[in-house]
């Protein structure tokens, strides 16, 4: 719940007053970055201030340059005993500078994924405060060093060009005016104003990847490559972000050209260069609420290349057939469909029909003279097939022997009688003996599910 005040107090983060004559010259990197920001961005800006050195530099520089255009937000994450007092100290500093103050208590609890949860909660609260206060922007104090650390973290995790873009200077209502400024410049700026910043202990917690990068990897790189290494990493991230933005724009145009009723034109998508094809597919899948990973995109591209299908999360398939790329719903595990005489039903990648009189072939299973209630369903734990002669086989073993991809197995149809006895793993086992007339279940696979013998 958003609140306007915090009762717990902490000694002021201002250790001594600084007169106007003591202020650094306007040519300091921090002030120069803020001057450029205020020239480029109109409207009022809400400054996200934790009390750390970076956000204090952002706060003081903005207050010196354009106090009428800024307000201050400080959030209590609830993760440290001192957090409420730190918010109060920021409030006191904002009041001394004549700036509006806003706060929120996030009420987070330690546990798995704490960093990601805290980040999501923080940005959500800042956006709420921005909208409530009538601000145009939310500004955070990310620095050039943060950019270099983020780039190394993402490259170490296998990021592509989009991830290599690192921290963006502007996204939606979120802006980062100090992204070109080094942390040492911010330390100097804050010290010159007689401020004692809050030191977040998590920044020294070597169980966290960012702390290991900050205190181990980055210093070693600077020692090996020289002091310009941090600046060069940040410049690379900025260029990567520009390149990614251009490619994303071109991919969006290509995606619009490839759209046809029911999906995408397969030829148009296949003709795209790899970088544009990947981005267009990611955007299209995101529209369908498909969680995308690098591995999934590779599988989708392979399905497009050979003309087939690819399993998607949520019991769905991407199909590339008949010149059309589309997303089809698949029968989830445990679903079942009753078979009625001479009526086609759809299940997984097959059409099935109970035919009252047929001569079975490789894709028709004889069901005998007395046709009882039959249905098709997905596999269930422990399913076994009861074939003629008393032989029984595990459905799982049949899938493995036939090399059916794991993502197809839950939606592969099983022919089942009323007592839940599995008669046929459709098209796979038991093998059908042709030439026996009588009632049979016909099965026709789509091209995306076609296997040898079907």
Are residue 291 and residue 371 in the same domain, yes or no? no
- State the total domains in the chain: 3
Taking the C-alpha atoms of residue 200 and residue 183, their distance in angstroms, rounded to an integer, is 15
Residue 255 placed within a domain: no
Q: What is the pLDDT of residue 112?
A: 80
Taking the C-alpha atoms of residue 351 and residue 308, their distance in angstroms, rounded to an integer, is 17
Range of the domain at 322: 261-329
Mind spelling out the 3-state secondary structure of 374-413?
EEEECCCCCCEEECHHHCEEEHHHHHHHCCCCHHHHCCCC
Q: What pTM, to 2 d.p., does this model score?
A: 0.64
Please give the structure tokens belonging to residue 385.
């097939």
Taking the C-alpha atoms of residue 54 and residue 183, their distance in angstroms, rounded to an integer, is 7
The CATH number given to whatever domain includes residue 167 is: 3.40.50.620
Classify residue 44 by burial, with Cβ atoms within 10 Å: 0-12, 13-18, 19+: middle
Q: What is the pLDDT of residue 267?
A: 95
Q: What is the pLDDT of residue 114?
A: 80
Residue 344 placed within a domain: yes
Are residue 319 and residue 438 in the same domain, yes or no? no
Q: Which of 238, 253, 278 is the last residue of a domain?
A: 238
Q: What is the pLDDT of residue 391?
A: 76
Residue 356 and residue 439 in contact, taking contact as beta carbons nearer than 8 Å? yes
Are residue 65 and residue 183 in the same domain, yes or no? yes
Are residue 130 and residue 30 in the same domain, yes or no? yes
Please give the structure tokens belonging to residue 396.
């799982």
pLDDT tens series, the chain, 454 aa = 333 333 333 345 655 444 444 444 556 899 999 999 999 999 999 999 999 999 999 999 999 999 999 999 999 988 888 888 999 999 999 999 999 999 999 888 888 878 888 899 999 999 999 999 999 999 999 999 999 999 999 999 888 888 888 888 999 999 999 999 999 999 999 999 999 898 888 788 888 888 899 999 999 999 999 999 999 999 999 999 999 999 999 999 999 999 999 899 999 999 999 999 999 999 999 998 888 888 899 999 999 998 888 888 877 788 888 899 988 766 555 578 888 887 888 787 788 888 876 555 556 888 876 567 899 999 999 999 977 666 789 999 999 999 887 767 888 999 998 888 899 999 899 887 665 567 888 888 754 444 444 4
Taking the C-alpha atoms of residue 14 and residue 197, their distance in angstroms, rounded to an integer, is 8
**C-alpha Rg value of the chain to the nearest Å:** 31
Classify residue 3 by burial, with Cβ atoms within 10 Å: 0-12, 13-18, 19+: exposed
Q: For tokens 């200077």, what's the residue?
A: 169
């Amino acid at each position: 719940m958003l609140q306007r005040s915090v009762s717990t107090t902490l000694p002021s983060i201002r250790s001594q007053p600084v007169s106007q004559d003591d202020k650094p010259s306007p040519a300091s990197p921090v002030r120069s970055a803020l001057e450029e920001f205020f020239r480029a961005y109109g409207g009022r800006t809400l400054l996200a201030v934790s009390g750390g050195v970076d956000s204090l530099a952002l706060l003081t520089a903005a207050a010196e340059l354009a106090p009428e255009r800024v307000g201050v937000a400080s959030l209590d994450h609830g993760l440290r005993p001192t957090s409420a007092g730190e918010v109060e100290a920021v409030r006191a500093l904002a009041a001394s500078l004549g700036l509006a103050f806003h706060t929120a208590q996030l009420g987070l609890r330690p546990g798995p994924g704490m960093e990601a949860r805290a980040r999501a909660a923080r940005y959500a609260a800042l956006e709420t405060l921005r909208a409530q206060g009538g601000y145009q922007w939310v500004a955070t104090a990310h620095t050039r060093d943060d950019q270099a650390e983020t780039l190394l973290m993402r490259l170490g995790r296998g990021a592509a060009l989009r991830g290599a873009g690192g921290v963006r200077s502007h996204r939606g209502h979120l802006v980062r005016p100090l992204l070109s400024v080094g942390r040492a410049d911010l330390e100097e700026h804050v010290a010159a104003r007689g401020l004692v910043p809050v030191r977040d202990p998590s920044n020294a917690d070597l169980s966290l990847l960012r702390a290991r990068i900050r205190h181990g990897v980055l210093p070693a790189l600077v020692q090996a490559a020289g002091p310009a290494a941090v600046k060069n990493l940040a410049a690379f991230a900025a260029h990567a972000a520009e390149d990614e933005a251009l490619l994303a724009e071109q991919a969006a145009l290509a995606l619009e050209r490839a759209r046809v009723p029911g999906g995408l034109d397969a030829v148009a998508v296949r003709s795209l260069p790899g970088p544009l094809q990947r981005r267009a597919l990611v955007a299209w899948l995101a529209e369908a609420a498909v969680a995308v990973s690098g591995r999934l995109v590779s599988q989708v591209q392979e399905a497009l290349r050979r003309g087939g299908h690819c399993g998607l999360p949520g019991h769905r398939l991407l199909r590339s057939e008949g010149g059309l790329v589309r997303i089809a719903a698949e029968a989830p595990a445990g679903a079942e469909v009753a078979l009625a005489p001479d009526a086609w039903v759809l299940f997984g990648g097959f059409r099935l029909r109970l035919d009252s009189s047929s001569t079975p072939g490789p894709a028709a299973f004889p069901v005998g003279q007395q046709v009882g209630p039959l249905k098709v369903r997905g596999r269930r734990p422990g399913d076994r097939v009861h074939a003629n002669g008393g032989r029984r086989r595990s459905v799982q073993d049949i899938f493995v022997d036939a090399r059916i991809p794991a993502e197809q197995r839950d939606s592969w149809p099983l022919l089942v009688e009323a007592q839940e006895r599995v008669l046929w793993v459709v098209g796979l086992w038991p093998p059908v003996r042709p030439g026996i007339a009588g009632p049979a279940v016909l099965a026709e696979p789509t091209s995306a599910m076609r296997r040898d013998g079907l």
